[in-house]
Structure 1
């Protein structure tokens, strides 16, 4: 089964992506150019990524004492991806970009993620460069970002530290001015960094000429102390190899050292590292300390970094979605070809009858329908969020502001919902395979292992849930939540005009009302400890309401009389979601509305 027909439907029949060509920025594009991009990415993913997904899982990165060794297939895949132009797909023509809508960039990226998330595309590199385009100086954009867009350099984000984890306020990496002339360096105010960073994806490799680390660190005050909390965090460009102000390598290695490789459950083809900055292994210019160039003003590091973090969170949602789809396709193929058992008739089973394919069993259909509803629903949501990005950057002022607020509310859902429920889809894919699914003879166990990381990647479930209920639904007086509810109500009103969709529309209306009432009840006492005690169940319910709305809106693009297999499949997946999934929100929202403290107040000694 191919991803392409689903992408084509969502892009052109649901989101009207071709309509973006009426905007000045995309005026030179057409449906034909969009299709050519999708064709190219589909081909590269099929030829350079998919055949090597198992290889990079079994031949993990290793360090030979000098450099990290990766399979040749990883380098070939990176080179093909860079040559495709997708690293700079959304950038201006003037710097070698294609000025593609982000909606198309996200759709094209789904091919690579489905083929091999472990080989990966340019998620962090593009996010790193986009941050510099937004917050860096002209020289930083030209020297670092432009070389990342070309594929000559790659990029990372270096946030976490061994002792701090997700608590960025506790980072201890220091950045001190490098000499009296530190502010006059053409590449930006120059500092020496000392500290350790953990869980750095693509932190060391030989795929590109250079690696551009974006590092969060604190600048000590006059008394030598670090400012507590996040207020003192600044952002620095720390290249693996030093460059001049034209981006040429100087031949000097920066004081950034690989301290070790992390060997994970999944994503085994991606190097994941512990990096030491400024430990003195590679003294540079006569002193220890990694040279870094400050981005923006002191103390604004976290604000700048959120540009990359939010982009990465949507990227992780797409990665989780793609893995869900990959598992669905694999288990669907298996179910169509695996004979086992006999159907139950009015008189029970007849052992004299030949075996049937397992797709004919009701419970296997249930598991396949769940995967389809989760994964294709998540894909629609991710592309909708990508469409909001285009609206934010190219829409009229009022529409752009609405898109900004909708993205604020939807980003925790876009990251967390696929990472939980497309993981469940991968678990069901294993179950469809039975015992074979637990072996490495089939790919579904790898998809599950790869996807399990995404509930942690770029902010855990708990972090996303606290952000959603603690900040996003209340920001700007709750305007973002009201905008989202308005869009849902507009879909409900349209669906009520179509008898075939009225049942779903009424169910969504009831769920939306329950979600709104629960949001108010959670904050009735204005006590954050009570409101956030059940933030994760709130987020699960919120996500289910969003996915139900997404499916209902998708059905509005499907003709009621259409009887082709794709239309029947979409109606069936939506029906499954409304009948089997949406009713689950009641239990989740009940503990939130009651501000149930069963978990929060459970005594440690009683565990």
Structure 2
């Protein structure tokens, strides 16, 4: 089963993506145009990405003076992606876009991650531009966002700092007005930034004419001190090279200096940087006829002190993208290990006949435990792919459905986003580990690609919010927001699937199991917050998220199985139903152990004395 065949089933048979063409925004589209986009992306990924996945893993970015050198294959792949129109695929026609549903865009981008996640599909550039189209001024949209969407500029987001990591309230990058007339710059209120940012993906390269950094920084108060916490955070556009109001480069380099490259376990083809803002290496003239001075020039986005609110617009999109990257890396390992298992002879069947060395060896796919490992991979990855596409469909509902439906989609997406990011990054990584195991000792060598898939996927549990951050967000905020309405909406969707499945004899027992899981999660949510003490409730937030995620994936699989069961008999139908059965028999029962410590508000971890480690 190929990725394309799985996408076709999920998009058209399960999610009914063709129905979106009845919406005003998408009336120019049809299944034919959707398929043409999928065909184009599949072809580019096959020709420009897949053959060079090992190349970009071994030929890491390197410095030549102030320039980052990348393999020619990366340049060619980026050019092909930009020329395909996928950078602006979901944008309005007036933005040069196709007004493509985000559901189709997300599905099409899966081909690039499958072929070489390390080369990438400009996820941050699109997120950067999307943020500016919502929160930027008309000039900022014209000069920065539209030049990102047409491929001239690339984009980043600069949040973390060496001393702060994920604790954004502790960032120390400063922004001060650039002269008395700072508010009148046509590109936005002009500031000077000083500070350091760490872990900046695509932070420097020569793939595009310019790089647009979106930087979080704090504007000092009247006393000259930074406002503590997140209240003082503002958002700034900081271009690598200065730009005029016509969108053309002025020939002046901004005071943004590459301080070093991070050398990672995986994603080695993606430049990851430490950037210094305002260290004085590239002084820029002040507004008017002022003398060149230190400090990176930045233009305020939105209002002062509302930077985090603006940035989360980009981060939430990025989290769905991270989840999708984890899914397709898991699928890459699954496809590789399935092919290996079908062709690798080793061992003999269990029983008396298997003890006869004169008997021929069997292929390892004939061993029950290898089938277990393959079925686990299939259930994790195809289930997670369905979840990501479901979330992408919610994005389309949020923006194009009737107001009541759109608001439900917004709230449901809020609850599901931590799961869409975290669940695939944990369990599709486990799928990659199983792919190595299927290969045996060969899987641990560089002769086969599965070790690279595992290395690449290991990053996804960390970036765009670690597991712990996602778990605290889920249990500490998302299930409680708006008096628990989002959790109630999700429960309603799950119960609707249970009701349909209860009437199917082959699925009735699984429907009952899912109903029990939903009840367990609801009870654990109440028990965690029984005392109202956040420290007690959140001490076991990660086990809660693991159980919650397994419940969500079980729901997704049961819903998919209802459609699969009605399909014509064949290998694809049988495979989906077996994967659903595996998840219910082998995975769903795990939630009890996770929820036990949540419900008891078990203090074992929280109360562990530091010296006892």
Where on the TM-score scale, by shorter chain, does this alignment land: which range? Answer: over 0.9
Does the 8 Å contact 1:75/1:207 carry over to 2?
A: yes
* Counterpart position of 1:437: 443
Deviation at 1:560, TM superposition (A): 4.6
Deviation at 1:108, TM superposition (A): 0.1
* Counterpart position of 1:483: 489
* Counterpart position of 2:583: 577
* Counterpart position of 1:149: 149
After TM superposition, the structure 1 = structure 2 runs for residues 161-310 of structure 1, keeping only pairs within 5 Å, are 161-285=161-285, 286-310=292-316
After TM superposition, the structure 1 = structure 2 runs for residues 324-403 of structure 1, keeping only pairs within 5 Å, are 324-345=330-351, 349-403=355-409
**Residues 374-408 of structure 1, C-alpha deviation per residue, up to 9 Å, x if partnerless?**
00000000000000000000000000000000010
* Counterpart position of 2:464: 458
**Residues 99-145 of structure 1, C-alpha deviation per residue, up to 9 Å, x if partnerless?**
00000000000000000000001100000000001101111111100
Extract unaligned runs of 5+ from structure 2. 286-291
In the superposition, relative to structure 1, how do residues 346 and 586 fare at CA in structure 2: closer, same or farther (>3 Å)?
Answer: farther
After TM superposition, the structure 1 = structure 2 runs for residues 486-497 of structure 1, keeping only pairs within 5 Å, are 486-497=492-503
Does the 8 Å contact 2:162/2:197 carry over to 1?
A: yes
State the distance in 2 between where 1:267 and 1:561 align.
38
After TM superposition, the structure 1 = structure 2 runs for residues 68-87 of structure 1, keeping only pairs within 5 Å, are 68-87=68-87
Out of 522, 526, 531, the residue aligned to residue 525 of structure 1 is 531
1:506 equivalent to 2:512? Answer yes
Does the 8 Å contact 2:565/2:577 carry over to 1?
A: no
Deviation at 1:440, TM superposition (A): 0.3
Does the 8 Å contact 1:317/1:414 carry over to 2?
A: yes
Q: Secondary structure at the match of 1:280?
A: coil
Does the 8 Å contact 1:238/1:290 carry over to 2?
A: yes
1:321 equivalent to 2:333? Answer no
Does the 8 Å contact 1:173/1:217 carry over to 2?
A: yes
Deviation at 1:497, TM superposition (A): 1.3
Does the 8 Å contact 2:235/2:307 carry over to 1?
A: yes
Q: Secondary structure at the match of 1:46?
A: helix
State the distance in 2 between where 1:581 and 1:161 align.
38
Does the 8 Å contact 1:406/1:483 carry over to 2?
A: yes
**Residues 531-554 of structure 1, C-alpha deviation per residue, up to 9 Å, x if partnerless?**
000000000000000000000000
Does the 8 Å contact 1:253/1:284 carry over to 2?
A: yes
State the distance in 1 between where 2:310 and 2:430 align.
34
Deviation at 1:348, TM superposition (A): 5.2
**TM-score for both structures, normalised by structure 1:** 0.99
**Residues 54-102 of structure 1, C-alpha deviation per residue, up to 9 Å, x if partnerless?**
0000000001112000000000000000000000000011121000000
Out of 415, 420, 428, the residue aligned to residue 422 of structure 1 is 428
State the distance in 1 between where 2:515 and 2:352 align.
40
1:601 equivalent to 2:611? Answer no
CA RMSD of aligned residues (A): 0.8
State the distance in 1 between where 2:495 and 2:195 align.
50
Deviation at 1:498, TM superposition (A): 1.1
Q: Secondary structure at the match of 1:533?
A: helix
State the distance in 2 between where 1:552 and 1:250 align.
57
State the distance in 2 between where 1:515 and 1:113 align.
33
Q: Secondary structure at the match of 1:275?
A: strand
1:27 equivalent to 2:27? Answer yes
* Counterpart position of 2:552: 546
Q: Secondary structure at the match of 1:258?
A: strand
1:134 equivalent to 2:134? Answer yes
Deviation at 1:293, TM superposition (A): 0.2
Does the 8 Å contact 1:469/1:539 carry over to 2?
A: yes
**Residues 464-489 of structure 1, C-alpha deviation per residue, up to 9 Å, x if partnerless?**
00000000000000000000000000
Aligned length: 607
State the distance in 2 between where 1:514 and 1:131 align.
38
State the distance in 2 between where 1:144 and 1:503 align.
55
Q: Secondary structure at the match of 2:293?
A: coil
Does the 8 Å contact 1:500/1:560 carry over to 2?
A: no
Extract unaligned runs of 5+ from structure 1. none
Does the 8 Å contact 2:172/2:218 carry over to 1?
A: yes
Q: Secondary structure at the match of 2:603?
A: coil
State the distance in 1 between where 2:148 and 2:508 align.
49
Q: Secondary structure at the match of 1:220?
A: coil
Does the 8 Å contact 1:562/1:568 carry over to 2?
A: no
* Counterpart position of 2:288: none
After TM superposition, the structure 1 = structure 2 runs for residues 404-415 of structure 1, keeping only pairs within 5 Å, are 404-415=410-421
State the distance in 2 between where 1:170 and 1:401 align.
33
